[in-house]
Amino acid sequence: MTRVLLVDDHPMIGAALDMLLRGTAYELLGRSRSVGEAGRDIARLKPDLILLDVNLPDGSGLDVLRKVARMRSRPRVILLTAGMDEAQLLAAADLEPQGMVLKTSDPSLLTECIDAVAAGKRWIDPEIADRTRRAQERADSAPALTRRERELIELVRQGLRNRDIAAELGVTEGTVKVYLHAIFDKLQVENRTELALRAAQLISR
Amino acid sequence: MEQLATLRGLFKFHSGRVISLGRVMLAITLFLIVMVGRSRPELTQTDPFLVAYALGALVIAAATWKNWWLDARLATLTHGLDMAAFTAIAFSSTATSSPFILFFILPLLSAAVRWSWRETAVTAAVLIALFMIGGYLLSGAEVFDSQRFVLRAANLVILTLLLIWFGVHQRFARTFLRVEDFDSAIREGENPLAQSLGFAMRASQAAGGALIVGAVGEDACDGFVVQGDSGRNFSAERALVRRFQDGGDIALLFDVPAGRALTRQPGGRFHFLASLAALDLVEAQGLGLTKGLIAEVSTGTNHGWLALWDVPDLSTDFLDFGRELAGAVGALLDRFALFDAMEAGAAVRVRLSLARDVHDSIVQFLAGSAIRIEAIKRAASSGAMVESDLDELKRLFVEEQGEIRGFVMALRQHRDLELAEAVAELRALAERLGQQWSVDCRVSADGDEVPIPIRLQLDLQQLLREAVANAVRHGGADRIDVGLSVANDQVELSVVDNGSGFANGKDGRVDAEPWSLKERVERAHGSLKLRSVPGATNVLISLPLKRAAA
């Protein structure tokens, strides 16, 4: 019997996986609804396999994955997600979980993935593999943010006006505008408000 | 009252006029006093000077009354004349009734009003030096009263200091515009350029005007022009005003037919130049500019020009007024830009928030349903009875359909909900949740009738779903009382259940936290308090009304 822990905060997914694993070679030990709960439950229940959602209420499932990667006897992990942005896809690819599957894919792929990972193989959803490859190509070809552009994004995030940013960086307002438009194009954001709201995620690329 | 308003109109923004009139009154008064106080009718040697000064003052007042160019051009000459008058009077009168102090004040006041503290100080230094020289020259005479001389010299120094202070502050102490003027200028949804120009035209009583604004460092601008009763948008490819001086925002009086323009240098002195040197005459002609005022407008990100023409009774004071008006127009444009940014920010927040709601509810539900169907299919293929599983799935679909319908209806609303409508929707949701979780869930409400923004209503609904799910799943509650109240621009949602509650510390303090609730409350810029003892758990959520409206 393979002992499985589900880390997902959505009740519908919990109930569905409970049904799916019922009467199979997998035992669902329980469900953790947050990063904090997952840490405690993994230590307490010592599962063989973790089905891990990426977006959790108190943080990212990728943080749980990083912790698991540092464990001595580490359980196998399948990332189970309804959608990841490109930054998350690339970060997940770096962490190399044993399985990655989209909740929105055909559920038969989920069972295929669970069976493969439980058998010691690596199984990645074809759609995730394709999106990761394209994200990697874009990241390789896209010009990286310069130090000055990162500084400017940080100042926009703090709510400074162009005039104040110009004073802070020792350039003219016109230069700030030129920089901003270059950043909008590079990061494909529409305006400074969106830039400010997504700044933390964009700078971390 | 009408006469008072007419009188005010005559002298408002006309300090040159006030100085000229003061000079005339002083000269005539002095002449009359000298004539009436004389015991014998023959002429003295000072009489021709007094007559010439009075006549000169009258001619200057008449010539400059409606002519800003001549007023500025003659300013230095009349200043010299006033100083000469002081010198003559100080030399020729030593009696206790000497009016020389008034002739000391006039040029000082005039310098302070027209120019700056520097000119005021130089004028005072020259006048005091002349007074001292006069005193020195008279010291040989028997009638010299040294005590009175020292007293008068001290008076002159004190007056000088006061007027220099006035000269320092009058450059930036003029506040022609009030905050109320400012706020009343903004009407939602109308062209910001047209509104800002209309504000400037009303303040200056101009019959025509143009406001041209573009990115800093670029000549291409967008503009709005009002000629007569009609206004129109236009684009300009060339700068209207030539860069003829560095430093300081420019305000310029111009008279194109006469080929004249007048501005102030940063130090406050007048700067005379040809209109050709100041303006691009092709652009000016295109806008119909002939005589009027142009002032430089700066906003947080843009730069441009405010042009006003057909301004009644234009005077040199309009150089300062124009600069202040342009500053106000720049601030108005900034305010419009701020409103736009706030609207864009609110739209982005709503977009991201809706995306998250759809992801958290609909996408997750459908994903879970697909997995359930897969499980049922497998169970059926192995011969298990699946009818109850299918019934359960059907029930979940019907419920979710109701949720989605409520969500879409809220989005379709073109207006905020009244509190009663919001409560009715929450009651309907509570009933559905009660059936779903087999729990008695009731909603009560009190508070003033206020509009509830749709974003806030969606948050309230989602918070209620999560609070009920928590109460039943974690606490095993079978009774949930929901209270909704509005006070001090805050909406408070109280959820009390009879379950076993969260993990507790002492005195109802809660060690575990409802993460999903907390995260949603933080996104809505609200606060969450939780008290939990076995048999009574109270989640108290406070959300700001105004933030949601923005």
Question: d(Cα B273, Cα B86) in Å, to the nearest integer?
Answer: 32
Q: Which residue, among A173, A189, A195, would best test binding to B if mutated, counting the most B CBs under 10 Å from its CB? A: A173
Q: What was the pLDDT predicted at B176?
A: 53
Q: Which residues contact B333 (CB under 8 A, 6 or more apart)?
A: B192, B193, B196, B213, B297, B299, B302
| Helix, strand, or coil (residue B535) | coil
A190 within 8 A of B351, measured Cβ to Cβ: no
- In the predicted model, what is the mean pLDDT of residues B397-414? 76
- On chain B, the residues whose CB falls within 8 A of the CB of A161 are 300-301
Q: What was the pLDDT predicted at A75?
A: 94
Across the interface, of B348, B374, B519, the residue whose CB is closest to A193 is: B348
Residue B494 neighbours by CB distance under 10 Å: 17
Question: d(Cα B535, Cα A63) in Å, to the nearest integer?
Answer: 35
Inter-chain touch A12–B359, beta carbons under 8 Å: no
Q: What was the pLDDT predicted at B96?
A: 46
Q: What was the pLDDT predicted at B178?
A: 59
Residue B315 neighbours by CB distance under 10 Å: 23
Q: What was the pLDDT predicted at B508?
A: 47
How far does the CA of residue B225 sit from the closest CA of chain A (Å)?
A: 26
- On chain B, the residues whose CB falls within 8 A of the CB of A4 are none
Inter-chain touch B300–A12, beta carbons under 8 Å: no
Q: What was the pLDDT predicted at B369?
A: 93
How far does the CA of residue A20 sit from the closest CA of chain B (Å)?
A: 4
Question: d(Cα B160, Cα B162) in Å, to the nearest integer?
Answer: 5
B267 within 8 A of B116, measured Cβ to Cβ: yes
Q: Per residue in B330-364, pLDDT tens?
A: 888 888 888 777 777 777 777 777 777 787 778 88
Q: Pairing between strand B270-274 and B260-264?
A: antiparallel
Residue A28: left if φ>0, alpha if ψ -120 to 50, beta else—which one? beta
Inter-chain touch A10–B375, beta carbons under 8 Å: no
Inform me whether the pLDDT recorded for B152 exceeds 80. Answer: no
Confidence band of B143 (pLDDT split at 50, 70, 90):
low
Query: In one letter, which amino acid is B222?
Result: D
| Helix, strand, or coil (residue A28) | strand
Q: Per residue in B421-467, pLDDT tens?
A: 888 888 988 988 887 778 899 999 887 778 888 778 888 888 898 88
B325 within 8 A of B204, measured Cβ to Cβ: yes
- On chain B, the residues whose CB falls within 8 A of the CB of A82 are 359, 363-364, 367
Give residue B409's Cα distance to chain centre: 39
Say what the ipTM of the complex is. Answer: 0.73
The pLDDT profile of chain A, 205 residues, written as one tens digit per residue, is: 899 999 998 878 988 999 999 889 999 999 998 898 899 999 999 999 999 999 887 788 999 999 998 888 889 999 998 878 777 888 888 889 999 999 989 999 999 999 999 999 999 999 999 999 988 887 777 667 787 888 888 888 877 888 888 888 888 887 888 888 888 887 778 788 778 777 766 665 5
Question: d(Cα B225, Cα B203) in Å, to the nearest integer?
Answer: 16
Q: Per residue in B291-325, pLDDT tens?
A: 999 999 988 778 889 999 999 888 988 998 898 88
Q: List, as one string, the DSSP characters of A176-196.
A: HHHHHHHHHHHHT-SSHHHHH
Question: d(Cα B105, Cα B127) in Å, to the nearest integer?
Answer: 10
Give the residue carrying structure tokens 């004040």: B105
pTM over 0.80: no
* Angle CA A44–A47–A48, to nearest 5: 155
- On chain A, the residues whose CB falls within 8 A of the CB of B436 are none
Inform me whether the pLDDT recorded for B142 exceeds 70. Answer: no
**In chain A, helix, strand, coil percent, each to 5?**
55, 15, 30
Task: Quote the tokens at residue A94.
Answer: 């770096």
| Helix, strand, or coil (residue B95) | coil
Q: What backbone phi and psi angles, to 5 degrees, belong to A121?
A: -95, 175
Q: Per residue in B168-216, pLDDT tens?
A: 655 544 545 555 666 666 666 678 899 999 989 988 889 999 999 987 7
Question: d(Cα B279, Cα B282) in Å, to the nearest integer?
Answer: 9
How far does the CA of residue B287 sit from the closest CA of chain A (Å)?
A: 28
Inter-chain touch A10–B469, beta carbons under 8 Å: no
Residue B501: left if φ>0, alpha if ψ -120 to 50, beta else—which one? left
* Angle CA B195–B319–B300, to nearest 5: 45
Per-chain mean pLDDT for chain B: 81
Of residues B255 and B175, the one with the higher pLDDT is: B255
B96-106 per-residue burial string, b: 16 or more CB within 10 A, e: under 16 = eeeebeebbbb
Q: Which residue, among B299, B339, B348, would best test binding to A if mutated, counting the most A CBs under 10 Å from its CB? A: B348
Nearest to B514 by CA among B492, B539, B483: B539
Lowest mean pLDDT among A36-50, B136-150, B395-409: B136-150
How far does the CA of residue A17 sit from the closest CA of chain B (Å)?
A: 7
Query: In one letter, which amino acid is A88?
Result: Q
Inter-chain touch B372–A16, beta carbons under 8 Å: yes
Q: List, as one string, the DSSP characters of B295-314.
A: EEEE-SSEEEEEEEES-TT-
State whether the Cα torsion B78-B83-B85-B86 is positive or negative: positive
Q: What was the pLDDT predicted at B186?
A: 67
Q: Which residues contact B491 (CB under 8 A, 6 or more apart)?
A: B452, B456, B460, B484, B485, B542, B543, B544, B545
Question: d(Cα B174, Cα B298) in Å, to the nearest integer?
Answer: 19
Angstrom CA distances, A171 to A146, A152, B468, stand at 16, 11, 54
Question: d(Cα B400, Cα B360) in Å, to the nearest integer?
Answer: 13
Nearest to A156 by CA among A166, A170, A147: A166
Of residues B96 and A4, the one with the higher pLDDT is: A4
Inform me whether the pLDDT recorded for B137 exceeds 60. Answer: yes
B140 within 8 A of B112, measured Cβ to Cβ: no
Of residues B440 and B524, the one with the higher pLDDT is: B440
Q: Per residue in B459-510, pLDDT tens?
A: 888 889 888 888 887 777 889 999 998 888 889 999 999 987 765 544 444 5
How far does the CA of residue A156 sit from the closest CA of chain B (Å)?
A: 13
Length of chain B counted residue by residue:
550
Find the closest chain A residue to B338 by CA distance. Answer: A161
